[in-house]
Copies of this chain bind each other. A is one copy, B any other.
Amino acid sequence: MQKVLIAGEWRDADAASTFQAHNPNTREALPEVYPVSSWSDCEAAIASAAEASIALRTTSGAEVAAFLEAYADGIEARKDDLVEMAHAETALPVSPRLADGELPRTTGQLRQAAAAARDGSWAMPIIDTATDIRTMFGAIGPVCVFGPNNFPFAFGSISGGDFAAAIAAGNPVIAKANSSHPGTTRIFAEVAKEAADATGMPAGMVQLLYRTSHSDGERLVADERIGAIGYTGARNAGLKLKSAADAAGNPIYLELSSVNPVVILPGALAERGAELVDEFSGSCLMGTGQFCTNPGLVLLLEGDDTNAFINGVVAKFGEAPVGTLLSEGVESSLRTNLGTLISAGAELLVGNTESDDSRYCYANTIVKVSAQQFIDDPETMQTEAFGNSSLFVVASSIEQVKAVIESLEGNLTGCVYSHNGGDDDAAYDAIAPSLRTKVGRLLNDKMPTGVAVSPAMNHGGPFPATGHPGFTAVGIPGAMVRFAALHCYDNIRPHRLPVALQDANPNGTLWRSVDGNWTQADL
């Protein structure tokens, strides 16, 4: 049985039971056996993280940056192992996806986080010289990260965006592996531990548990020694963790579900309908549709161009190779949720069949409803069928499109395609303000699946897309602020201030707001 990483040591777990990952390409269990930890493992990890948190109070941003950079280097050195293991556990293609896309993205994020930790501007120091009050963001304390199934590297619990942001903000991380790729997470943890040791980080800086019972998970996130939690995954499990963390007053950042509405207005279809068939189909089937920002809901206005678009997509979906799904759970959820939509009256246009029995997969599927059907039962119609499927909603007027939008829950993204010459501008103006309030990222003429690691990215949105619409999970330095508390210093003697708040700018690059003006100068 694999060991857990607690307090800087690989040790035998106090295992209540065990589990194995499966190869999605064969449906067969992989050989490694992983422990489901008992509470004593959680307790030990929390205690060590709390100690690490104290040690980190006197660790500089530059020292944390050195760790993150050593870790990124170490990941590149173990690249072949990581890619091989992740491919076995997820069936995601070795190239370009894992080796050339997700791995460089992951090391890039870690290095961006390192640069942010070294520079310090992420902490947004504010100095009011009239009152001598000075404030900045500081570390919040031990962070638990629960990573999703669909990005074993870039959102991995010990390698991804939440991890990088939490560490760069000065916090230790307790990672809970995603059960579909524990081996990948283990290799990351090995590399992270080596980098942490080599750069003098405290023992509890990075820790790994593979799995716990649900009740221990809830107890973990509610522990008073925990500073914050990052969770990306299934909605039901996330809401239970949210409830536990909320009751304890521990900030929890969640990414739960999103159907990512795409509105394609008539002028755009008249102008470039065939292109849009390709663009939509490519976005929706990429990664077998297993992206948080997959376009799962398409709003159209009835008409010949819409019919041609639908027919084009249906043909594409029928012809396109059927990708492999990440797990038996994803396959069965997709089947169940498409069933829910069809039982509620959605018309099946293509797919909704078993595809082949030798791997996890399900036919590329499009279902369709009228806008009125959607408006009559928006909760059911927003069932997220995560995977290679989408729901088309056909409206008879732009007012009906707007009514559909207003019936939506919060989403990560919302897109509008419109005529390049302005033919759709009135329709755009009628719907965009409503769509704006429902999504974190609004797009024009672009599918939502690409999530650039940019300081201006918002990978977030209103509940239940996330737990708080003011934060992004992707993008440095924005994502770091989630794992920080506001630390105010009132009349503190100068030599006791953090260097970022002392009169002299510590590195000349640090941006501070002094009396309402941003500056890199000394006071």
Query: Nearest chain-B residue to A458 (Cβ)?
Result: B488
Q: Complex: how many Å from CA A460 to CA B488?
A: 9
> With A410-B249, A463-B250 in contact, is A455–B513 under 8 Å at CB?
yes
Which residues of the partner chain B approach A517 to less than 8 Å between Cβ atoms?
Answer: 511
Confirm or deny: A485 has a beta carbon within 8 angstroms of a beta carbon on chain B.
yes
Q: Complex: how many Å from CA A317 to CA B121?
A: 47
**How close is A61's CB to chain B, nearest CB, in angstroms?**
16
The interface bits of chain A over 248-274 (1 if a CB of B lies within 8 angstroms of the residue's CB, else 0) are: 111100000000000000000000000
Confirm or deny: A487 has a beta carbon within 8 angstroms of a beta carbon on chain B.
yes
Q: Complex: how many Å from CA A472 to CA B488?
A: 10
Which residues of the partner chain B approach A464 to less than 8 Å between Cβ atoms?
Answer: 249
Q: Complex: how many Å from CA A71 to CA B489?
A: 33
Query: Nearest chain-B residue to A410 (Cβ)?
Result: B249
Q: Complex: how many Å from CA A412 to CA B303?
A: 60
Which residues of the partner chain B approach A457 to less than 8 Å between Cβ atoms?
Answer: 128, 131, 133, 135, 488
Q: Contact check, B251 vs A243: say whether CB atoms are below 8 A apart.
A: no
Q: Complex: how many Å from CA A460 to CA B490?
A: 13
Query: Nearest chain-B residue to A453 (Cβ)?
Result: B131
Q: Contact check, B488 vs A436: say whether CB atoms are below 8 A apart.
A: no
Pairs A–B under 8 Å by Cβ, sample size 30: A58-B433, A121-B516, A126-B455, A128-B455, A130-B454, A133-B454, A135-B458, A140-B469, A243-B246, A248-B463, A249-B467, A251-B470, A436-B487, A440-B485, A440-B487, A441-B489, A442-B490, A442-B492, A443-B491, A444-B496, A446-B491, A455-B513, A455-B516, A456-B488, A458-B488, A462-B485, A470-B481, A470-B485, A470-B486, A511-B517
Q: Contact check, B513 vs A485: say whether CB atoms are below 8 A apart.
A: no
Confirm or deny: A426 has a beta carbon within 8 angstroms of a beta carbon on chain B.
no
Within A450-507, which residues are at the interface with B (CB < 8 Å)?
452, 454-458, 460, 462-464, 467-472, 478, 481-482, 484-493, 496
Query: Nearest chain-B residue to A138 (Cβ)?
Result: B436
Confirm or deny: A27 has a beta carbon within 8 angstroms of a beta carbon on chain B.
no
Q: Contact check, B128 vs A496: say whether CB atoms are below 8 A apart.
A: no
> With A433-B57, A446-B490, A490-B442 in contact, is A484–B496 under 8 Å at CB?
no
Q: Complex: how many Å from CA A486 to CA B437?
A: 10
Confirm or deny: A176 has a beta carbon within 8 angstroms of a beta carbon on chain B.
no
Which residues of the partner chain B approach A442 to less than 8 Å between Cβ atoms?
Answer: 487-490, 492
Q: Complex: how many Å from CA A54 to CA B434?
A: 8
Could you list 4 further interchain pairs (A-B, Cβ under 8 angstroms) beyond the known A246-B247, A251-B468, A441-B488? A126-B455, A134-B456, A135-B457, A469-B485
Q: Contact check, A487 vs B458: say whether CB atoms are below 8 A apart.
A: yes
Which residues of the partner chain B approach A432 to less than 8 Å between Cβ atoms?
Answer: 496
Confirm or deny: A127 has a beta carbon within 8 angstroms of a beta carbon on chain B.
yes
> With A248-B463, A454-B131 in contact, is A444–B493 under 8 Å at CB?
yes
Residues of A within 8 A of B (CB): 54, 57-58, 121, 126-128, 130-131, 133-135, 137-138, 140-141, 242-243, 246-251, 410, 413, 428, 432-433, 436-437, 440-446, 452, 454-458, 460, 462-464, 467-472, 478, 481-482, 484-493, 496, 511, 513, 516-518
Which residues of the partner chain B approach A128 to less than 8 Å between Cβ atoms?
Answer: 452, 454-457
Which residues of the partner chain B approach A513 to less than 8 Å between Cβ atoms?
Answer: 455
Query: Nearest chain-B residue to A471 (Cβ)?
Result: B486
Q: Complex: how many Å from CA A445 to CA B511?
A: 29
Which residues of the partner chain B approach A433 to less than 8 Å between Cβ atoms?
Answer: 54, 57-58
Q: Complex: how many Å from CA A467 to CA B248?
A: 10
> With A246-B246, A468-B251, A485-B469 in contact, is A131–B452 under 8 Å at CB?
yes
Q: Complex: how many Å from CA A487 to CA B468?
A: 12
Q: Contact check, B249 vs A463: say whether CB atoms are below 8 A apart.
A: yes
Query: Nearest chain-B residue to A128 (Cβ)?
Result: B456
Residue of A247, A456, A458 with most chain B CB atoms under a 10 A cut-off:
A456
Query: Nearest chain-B residue to A245 (Cβ)?
Result: B246
Which residues of the partner chain B approach A478 to less than 8 Å between Cβ atoms?
Answer: 126, 135, 486
**How close is A409's CB to chain B, nearest CB, in angstroms?**
8
**How close is A289's CB to chain B, nearest CB, in angstroms?**
20
**How close is A499's CB to chain B, nearest CB, in angstroms?**
15
Which residues of the partner chain B approach A443 to less than 8 Å between Cβ atoms?
Answer: 490-492
**How close is A433's CB to chain B, nearest CB, in angstroms?**
5
Which residues of the partner chain B approach A454 to less than 8 Å between Cβ atoms?
Answer: 128, 130-131, 133
Q: Complex: how many Å from CA A463 to CA B464?
A: 23
Among B455, B468, B470, B490, the residue within 8 A (CB) of A441 is: B490
